Chain A
């Protein structure tokens, strides 16, 4: 597509529920990043994919968070047993190989009640 598409744009869930956030990258972009942005803060790195593999997942806060990119295109960020502290905007960014230029999606705003 023309840009990075993230769905849903807004998600409200209850504490303890499971959520999935989807990122559709720009066609041909092999690098894909997930970031989390809390109110008043800059984006916080979560995970980086090069192709299908997670090249760096050092930013995932705990084992409730998991991300996949099975075909090297669409990625899904999965959060189990959500907590109120998970509330944030989850941003996806993609780039060509080397990925020095990142294009961000508009984000998925997650609210955990």
Chain B
């Protein structure tokens, strides 16, 4: 069974701080995605990484895919209250179309 473990589960920080959240698995994924979900809404895709070692930047967010394609990290620089939400990583299994999700990191950024 493929599992994605996210850490930390919960993070409360002050505006302007930096943070990193992690997504780890013992399985190899063909691609890994990060989503952000707000209360009462579905997850919204932030980024997809497909190549081991790949780094993608989206404004203040930096995403990295591990060399072995088993893990990923999301780094946020100078967090803002608008970054508050549930951050989910999701992996697609090799050779298939099933996308599985981690339990998420709930981020709260205080003004």
Q: Which residues of A contact B (CB under 8 A)?
A: 4, 31, 33, 35, 40-45, 48, 50, 55-56, 58-59, 91, 93, 98-107
Chain B's closest residue to A93 (CB) is: B42
Residue B48 interfacial (CB < 8 Å) = yes
How many residue pairs, one in A and one in B, have C-beta atoms under 8 Å apart? 54
Q: Which residue of B lies closest to A107 (CB)?
A: B42
Decide: B43 and A43 in contact? CB cutoff 8 A.
Answer: yes
Q: What is the size category of the interface that chain B forms with chain A?
A: 20 to 34
- A and B contact pairs by CB, cutoff 8 A, 7 listed: A33-B99, A42-B90, A43-B88, A56-B96, A59-B98, A91-B42, A101-B45
CB distance from A99 to the nearest CB of B (A): 6
Known: A31-B97, A42-B101, A44-B101. A106 touches B45 (CB 8 A): no
> B34 → chain A, closest Cβ, in Å?
12
- A91 vs B44: C-alpha distance in the bound complex, in angstroms? 12
Q: How far is the CA of A14 from the CA of B83 in the complex (A)?
A: 38
Contacts A45-B98, A45-B100, A56-B96 known; 8 new A-B pairs at CB < 8 A: A42-B103, A43-B101, A56-B98, A91-B42, A98-B97, A106-B41, A107-B41, A107-B42
| Docked complex: B73-104 residues within 8 A CB-CB of A | 88, 90, 92, 96-104
